Amino acid sequence: MSATTKPNLRVIFRPYLDTDQRTILDLNAESVAVLSPLDEYRFQALAQMSDMLQVADVDGQTIGFIMAFADNRAYDSINYRWFAARLKNFLYIDRVVLSPLFRRHGLGTLFYQQAQAFAQARGLSWLAVEVDIKPPNLASLEFHKKQGFMEIGCQGVGSGKIVSLQIKPLDNEK
């Protein structure tokens, strides 16, 4: 799928290819302050287990990616496990990562639209995410509020970090 964003970026969303791995690892490393780190072995394991792994390209350059997991996966993330213990029929958005040069251009919203369409096409009922509240990630909190997410819980995830666990109900009527 392609889309145009402000300021008229032509974005192509496509499935992950093995040749994208180095770029994805580099993008993740640039955002490791708000994401868990990935090395190539962890990434490969997660890529095989993920239900949704897409990249965004602008002018042939990969500038971001999304990784998401449906319920009933063996994913060991503490946040995914929290949702899995309480919800069924969900898509957990594990990470959306964008190159710093392409943030604040509407691409995050487009990635979330991709995730919602993906989940709805499979008849899933919820999108699930976590957002840092200690230390606070104010931009992410505001973004998820605008996207229609609501908090259903909080948990500590180590080193004093606390996350808000949020869901968005999906309307699956055709």
Architecture of the domain whose range is 2-169: 3-Layer(aba) Sandwich (3.40)
Q: Where are the domains of the chain?
A: 2-169
Instruction: Report the share of the chain in percent with pLDDT over 90.
Output: 79
The predicted model scores a pTM of: 0.92
Mean pLDDT, the chain cut into blocks of 10 residues (174 residues total) = 63 95 95 84 97 95 97 96 97 94 88 96 97 92 96 94 97 63
17 CB-near residues (< 8 Å, 6+ apart): 55
pLDDT of residue 174: 47
pLDDT of residue 7: 59
pLDDT digits (tens, 9 = 90+) for 5-36: 555 778 999 999 999 999 999 999 998 877 78
The neighbouring-strand residues paired with 164 are 131, 154
36, two tokens: 């868990």
Beta strands in the chain (DSSP E): 2-5, 9-15, 52-58, 61-70, 90-98, 126-134, 150-158, 161-169
